[in-house]
Structure 1
Amino acid sequence: MRRADRLFQIIQILRRAKRPVTARVLSEELEVSMRTVYRDIADLMGQRVPVSGEAGIGYVLDRDYDMPPLMLTPDELEAAVLGAQWVAQRSDPALARAARDLIAKIAAALPDPLRLFIAEPTVSTPPPQSLCVDTLSIAQVREWIRAGRKLRIRYRDELGRVSERTIWPLLIGYADAVRLLAAWCELRQAFRHFRTDRIVEAAFLEEEHEGRRSVLMARWKAHMKESRGVDLSE
């Protein structure tokens, strides 16, 4: 790895870390000696990159620090292309359009030598063989998730039984051919997953639910961890 690439990678590691990163952790990820890491950290500080910390404790990057736009590696560019391709082929129309716009904006801002990685990537994702049709606006569901509002739905399960639910929408999961809406179900008093193509009817309520999304997400993740291997779909 070139030194310039290594310095850039150190910044990326520190940027994504939530706590101080030790020189040992940096050396293991970068596959270099700790002495090299100490020298690189000193170079970054000398270039006025706001890295603070010391040996034995770890290093942090000032959260307000921002790098020049789109200083991406070829692997990062192709990862962005691959992810955007998948979203464009499998998500709702609004997200699909956003994914295509994202790639166009990245390509427009890149220097010429890097545009090849957008125009001719070495990776691709095939389109899904079949894709279930949603019976409600996924874009509006995402809006309601952000706003913390309730949905009232009529849902048909795999046996064809229809029930009415008031749910607190939390997260939309994108599988290869279907979408699942993770939510707190007031009827079951538990987290449930609803296939969006089985929602017969949906009313977007103005009523806000009681839970903060961060708290609900933490509870949902704990629930998923405990229920691994258990079918939680309705």
Structure 2
Amino acid sequence: MCENKRIMTRTHRLFQLMQALRLSTPPATAAALAQDLGVTPRTVYRDIEALRGLGAVIDGAAGFGYTLIEDAALPPLSFDSDELEALVLGLREVEAIGDPALRGAAGRALSKLRARLPESQAHRLRHAVLSAARFTPLPEPGVDVVALRQATWDERRIRFAYTDAEGRATARSVDPLSIAYMQASHCLLAYCHLRADFRAFRLDRMRDLEVLDQSFRPNRVPMLRQYMAAMRAEEATHAEAATP
């Protein structure tokens, strides 16, 4: 048992070191990597050699710093120029409008791509023409968005406290269907059991999330399609009414 735990701990540390190399500005010194990981530089030296033995191409040596050239954790990748721009734009958009967990995930995904692409394409990735930015911060969610996403994937009913635009507080029990960026805020699209209808809830107005044992599987996808169709029909009606 102790040996298995030691092996699992070392494996986890190697994954952490690989991620630190992806995120660091090269060359990353052993001292800086050791500080990030909470280990000694001597441990970093040993782990660098272990990663090299597993197939990672890491340039550098003790006293000079290390640069990740090829990442053995990812398969070979090749993209044309437009595909690279699309990837950067999409991930930058997530960094701009995603919730805190997704913003971090988008940054890590970009670092993994840079580590695996040929240098000519990595250069285009670093200096892409397209980007995305927000100058007005989005309101922070009032609930754990990671737990909310997981409940949505698992098709588990949730309960939370909600305050509407007029300041009225209610307790809601809903079937979560999707999380969407709508009108400068993140919204949960759901079927609300209090109103017996589909509703959108701003995440910054939600509090005290509770994931319940009740499942509504396998209805999430058809329910979401129904909700989106209703939204499109309502939008079409508004557009027709506005036409002179």
TM-score category (smaller protein): 0.5 to 0.7
| Structure 1 residues without counterparts, runs of 5 or longer | 1-67
Cα distance change, pair 82–210 in 1 and its aligned pair in 2 (3 A):
closer
Q: Check whether the contact 2:177–2:221 (CA below 8 A) recurs between aligned residues.
A: no
Match of 1:126 among 133, 148, 152: 133
- Find the aligned partners of 1:106 and 1:176 in 2 and give their Cα distance: 31
Matched, 1:78 2:85: yes
Q: Is the 8 A contact 1:153 1:166 kept in 2?
A: yes
- Structure 2 matches for 1:1-12, cutoff 5 A? none
Of residues 187, 210, 213, the one that matches 2:220 is 213
Instruction: Report deviation, 1:214.
Output: 2.0
Indicate if the aligned counterparts of 1:148 and 1:208 stay in contact, CA closer than 8 A: yes
User: Which of 160, 163, 180 matches 1:156?
Assistant: 163
> SS of 1:227's equivalent?
helix
* SS of 1:200 mapped into structure 2: strand
Q: What is the letter of the counterpart of residue 90 of structure 1? A: I
CA distance in 2, matches of 1:100, 1:230: 40
Name the aligned partner's letter for residue 180 of structure 1: C
Q: By percentage of residues, which structure has more helix?
A: 2
Q: What whole-Å deviation, never above 9, does each CA across 1:100-155 have from its counterpart, x for those lacking one?
A: 11111111111121112111111121234122011101111110000000111211
Partner of 1:87: 94
Is 1:97 the counterpart of 2:104? The answer is: yes
**Equivalent residue letter for 1:95:** L
Show CA shifts across 1:71-122 (max 9, x none).
2111111111111112123222221121111111111111121112111111
Are the structure 2 counterparts of residues 176 and 76 from structure 1 closer, same or farther at C-alpha, using a change threshold of 3 Å?
farther
CA separation of 1:220 and 1:111: change in aligned 2, threshold 3 A: same
The secondary structure found in structure 2 opposite 1:140 is helix
1:156, 1:229 → 2: CA distance?
Answer: 29
Q: What TM-score do the two structures reach when normalised by structure 2?
A: 0.62
Whether the aligned pair in 1 keeps the contact of 2:144 and 2:209 (CA below 8 Å) is no
The structure 2 residue matched to 1:194, chosen from 179, 192, 201, is 201
Query: Secondary structure of the residue that 2:85 maps to in structure 1?
Result: helix
Q: Work out which of the residue numbers 199, 215, 232 in structure 2 matches 1:225.
A: 232
Q: CA deviation at 1:156?
A: 0.7
Equivalents in 1 of 2:76, 2:230: separation in Å?
39
- How far apart in 1 are the matches of 2:77 and 2:89? 17
Matches within 5 A, 1:13-32: none
CA contact (8 A) 1:90 1:176 kept: no
> How has the CA–CA distance of structure 1 residues 173 and 120 changed in structure 2, closer, same or farther, with 3 Å as cutoff?
same
Instruction: Give the structure 2 partner of residue 6 of structure 1.
Output: none
| Counterpart AA for 1:123 | L
Cα distance change, pair 80–124 in 1 and its aligned pair in 2 (3 A): same
Query: Where does residue 114 of structure 1 map in the other structure?
Result: 121
Structure 2 unaligned spans of 5+:
1-74, 239-244
Distance 2:116 2:217 in 1: 42
The separation in 1 between residues aligned to 2:161 and 2:138, in whole angstroms, is: 21
In 1, the alpha carbon distance for the partners of 2:232 and 2:122 equals 41
**Larger deviation: 104-113 or 209-218?**
209-218
Cα gap change, 1:152 to 1:98, in 2 (>3 Å):
same
Deviation at 1:157, TM superposition (A): 0.7
Q: Alignment identity in percent?
A: 32
- Matches of 1:116 and 1:78, distance apart in 2: 12
